[in-house]
Amino acid sequence: MSKAPVLDLLMHEMSLAAPGGFAVGLHIRYVSPLIMVNTYPDDWQEVYTAKLYGLRDPTLAWGLSHNGTRRWSQIGLPDPFGILPEAAQYGMVYGMIASIGPMSSRTIAGATRADREFTDSEMELIQRLVQRMHDLSEPPARLSKPQVEALRCIADGDRHAAAAAKLGISESAFKARLTSARQKLMARTTAEAVQRAKEYGLI
């Protein structure tokens, strides 16, 4: 059974817990997350990207060097670019960070609201949600031989019919292999599954 619907439900619960928006990067390795979801205001996302704030964000710096949760107002790290005051102009006045997992596969989530600080119980809830997302989306250590063969065919540019003929199986069996590989890799498309399999050295 695919884990994607469960992950979608957890993301919905996060949206309810963070009325000002949230951003979560699951299993960050080599700077890039396996899965990234960002519901912060679109205008803020554009500013954040254009100004390269990801390299300067004190909340992200805290998340990369700590495990646990912290309110933005209590991080205590320098913010020479004024990222947090600028974020407040987009309705992200109060926020928190949750960081989970080892440095080799860290999950970091930020959550915001405009009206008040997050309470301790709200932060605990968000941390539990992020922990469940982290556990659910743990990349597989390996793929089965049929899954690897199917993804390699796609990576080599083969169409389904040609790939099935190459492997000596029916086209429906080939598609079933791709579906199982996508589910195991938490990928929504075959192209995404191929990319993730490559990134994790599985094909």
**pLDDT > 70 in the chain, percent:** 99
CATH of 145-199, one of 1.10.1240.10, 3.30.1330.10, 3.40.50.12160, 1.10.10.10: 1.10.10.10
According to DSSP, the residues that pair with 23 across neighbouring strands are: 38, 110
- What pLDDT, on a 0 to 100 scale, did the predictor assign at position 186? 79
Least confidently predicted of 29-38, 95-104, 144-153: 29-38
**What ranges do the domains of the chain cover?**
4-136, 145-199
pLDDT at 2 over 90: no
Distance CA 182, CA 130 (A): 22
pLDDT band at 184, cuts 50/70/90? confident
Q: Which residues does 101 contact at the CB level (< 8 Å), separation at least 6? A: 27, 67, 107, 134
pLDDT by residue (tens digit) across 54-70? 999 999 999 999 999 99
More confident residue, 184 or 70: 70
Write phi, then psi, for 150 (nearest 5 degrees): -65, -45
Question: 4-136 has which fold?
Answer: Beta-Lactamase (3.30.450)
pLDDT by residue (tens digit) across 94-110? 999 999 999 988 999 99
pLDDT at 167 over 90: yes
Q: Which residues does 169 contact at the CB level (< 8 Å), separation at least 6? A: 177
